[in-house]
């Protein structure tokens, strides 16, 4: 476990008057490299390379694309080049003993152009179905990507807040130490009672304990982010505190327009409905005849040659087969009913998705709006708490305030600073959650 002194390399020191952050960096030992510095975008990029669920969604999208390519190929003719040699026991004549074969030696070397046509356009419907399934997979990949943004944002700013709280607690511990020293000096001068020293010592003990707890929480936040962004689980990194650089919140009308255009849940539900409709067409295509056509060009002769005994054997042939379905014990009808049931369910899910989108949009926007509106109040409270502590200590030195008032002012300042850090992180997380519906803004 790293010591508290080492952790001070990267914590943010918050000034009493303005919550302005600076980075405290001490000299590194000779030969030791500075830790890697990550921005939020760096963390997101790294997480996209390593997070299994997101990678699985991308894999499914890639597989769906290849399914569409295969379905498209079924609409087009295929060409193959077949080569075969047949040997059959002879019977003393040029013919073979098996009536199915044309001679003792038979060589087949032919190109084959093959095409299958369904008069119910089942193949075309299957291609459209795979296109809809690809759109569905892409929408799910986008859902996974936006969900990953929320996860990384929460872990990233969880570490930033833990750094701030550690700095706040460290500052409060130093203030408690100074107050303890001050109370001892005043006791020696007969200006305060020994009870003030006892109270100051208790306050210092509490802050020292809180500092150790803040250290533990900081290390836990660091571990949580490291699991997301590093494949080799390194902890030699620090993050940029950009909480105050949060983007502004768009207007409700802009948010609504973006959600209608870019919501992946809605796109996924619509793609599911489109795929289920095409499944009905695919199933109904089995009611219609299927025409199979093959065109051959090559040889089918007793020798591997283009002429046998002066007679040309290189030529072409064509075969057309019309398959008319008559009866299959209701299997086709059952598949049509299955597809219709899926289509009905997809309609219900689309309607539910639309309603849930409206509810989530209103709820997420309200949360972001509330979090943004509270930041000014939280910042003002932190400034007032810092000024209150300064004035209380001056009053205590002048004999106008008690030790309890000083301790209360110290605790109030630490709490106000921590609340401000939590408020900024809350707003960032609210924005990331809102962007799961609207996309980045």
Return the ∠ at Cα 225 (arms to 219 and 230), rounded to 5°: 115
- What average pLDDT does the segment 186-212 reach? 91
What distance, in Å, lies between the first and last C-alpha atoms of the chain? 40
Contacts of 282 (CB under 8 A, 6+ apart): 122, 125, 126, 129, 339
pLDDT computed for residue 97 by the predictor:
82
- What average pLDDT does the segment 384-399 reach? 92
pLDDT computed for residue 304 by the predictor:
92
- What average pLDDT does the segment 175-198 reach? 90
Give dist(CA 174, CA 281) in Å, integer. 75
pLDDT computed for residue 132 by the predictor:
97
In Å, what is the CA distance from 306 to each residue of 107, 298, 312, 424? 11, 8, 6, 83
Secondary structure of residue 277 in the 3-state scheme: helix
Confidence check: pLDDT of 337 > 60: yes
Domains and their CATH numbers in the chain: 4-76+122-286+336-438 (1.20.1600.10), 77-118+289-324 (2.20.200.10)
pLDDT computed for residue 31 by the predictor:
52
pLDDT computed for residue 3 by the predictor:
33
pLDDT in tens, 348-364: 999 999 999 999 999 99
Q: Percentage of residues in the chain with pLDDT exceeding 90? A: 77
Q: What is the dihedral of CA 360, 361, 363, 368, to 10 degrees?
A: 130
pLDDT computed for residue 94 by the predictor:
78
Confidence check: pLDDT of 147 > 70: yes
Confidence check: pLDDT of 301 > 60: yes
The verdict on pTM exceeding 0.75 is yes
Helical pair 403-438 and 122-188, crossing angle rounded to 10 deg: 170
Confidence check: pLDDT of 250 > 50: yes
Give dist(CA 77, CA 261) in Å, integer. 38
pLDDT computed for residue 134 by the predictor:
97
- Cβ atoms within 10 Å, residue 336: 19
| pLDDT band for position 26 (cuts 50, 70, 90) | very low
pLDDT in tens, 49-58: 999 999 999 9
pLDDT in tens, 64-120: 999 999 999 999 999 999 999 999 988 888 788 888 888 889 999 999 999 999 998
Q: Which helix (H) or strand (E) holds 294?
A: strand 290-301
Give which of 162, 150, 154 is closest to 222, Cα–Cα: 162
Give the chain's mean pLDDT: 89
Give dist(CA 22, CA 156) in Å, integer. 18
């Amino acid at each position: 476990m790293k010591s508290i002194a080492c952790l001070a390399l990267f914590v943010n020191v918050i000034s009493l008057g303005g919550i302005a952050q600076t980075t405290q960096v001490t000299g590194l030992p000779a030969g030791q490299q500075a830790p890697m510095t990550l921005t939020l975008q760096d963390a997101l990029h790294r997480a996209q390379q390593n997070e299994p669920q997101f990678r699985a969604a991308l894999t499914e999208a890639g597989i769906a694309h290849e399914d569409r390519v295969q379905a498209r190929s079924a609409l087009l003719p295929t060409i193959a080049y077949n080569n075969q040699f047949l040997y059959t026991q002879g019977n003393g004549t040029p013919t073979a003993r098996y009536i199915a074969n044309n001679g003792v030696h038979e060589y087949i070397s032919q190109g084959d152009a093959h095409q299958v046509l369904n008069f119910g356009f089942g193949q075309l419907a299957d291609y459209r179905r795979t296109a809809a399934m690809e759109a569905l997979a892409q929408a799910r990949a986008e859902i996974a990507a936006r969900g990953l943004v929320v996860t990384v944002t929460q872990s990233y700013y969880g570490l930033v807040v833990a750094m701030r709280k550690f700095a706040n607690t460290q500052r409060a511990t130093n203030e408690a130490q100074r107050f303890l020293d001050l109370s001892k000096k005043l006791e020696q001068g007969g200006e305060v009672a020994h009870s003030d020293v006892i109270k100051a010592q208790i306050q210092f003990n509490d802050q020292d304990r809180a500092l150790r707890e803040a250290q533990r929480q900081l290390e836990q936040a660091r571990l949580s982010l490291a699991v997301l962004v590093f494949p080799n689980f390194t902890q030699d990194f620090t993050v940029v505190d950009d909480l105050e650089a949060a983007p502004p919140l768009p207007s409700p009308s802009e948010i609504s327009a973006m959600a209608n255009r870019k919501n992946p849940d809605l796109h996924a539900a619509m793609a599911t409905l489109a795929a289920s409709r095409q499944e009905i067409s695919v199933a109904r295509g089995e009611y219609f005849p299927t025409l199979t056509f093959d065109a051959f060009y090559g040889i089918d002769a007793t020798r591997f040659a283009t002429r046998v005994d002066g007679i040309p054997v290189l030529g072409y042939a064509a075969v057309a087969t019309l398959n008319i379905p008559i009866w299959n014990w209701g299997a086709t009808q059952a598949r049509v009913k299955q597809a219709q049931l899926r289509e009905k369910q997809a309609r219900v899910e689309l309607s539910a998705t639309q309603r849930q989108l409206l509810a989530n949009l209103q709820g997420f926007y309200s949360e972001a709006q509330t979090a943004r509106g509270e930041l000014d109040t939280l910042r003002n409270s932190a400034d007032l708490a810092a000024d209150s502590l300064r004035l209380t200590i001056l009053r205590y030195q002048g004999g106008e305030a008690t030790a309890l008032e000083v301790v209360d002012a110290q605790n109030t300042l630490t709490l106000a600073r921590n609340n401000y850090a939590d408020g900024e992180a809350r707003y960032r997380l609210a924005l990331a959650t809102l962007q799961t519906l609207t996309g980045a803004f």
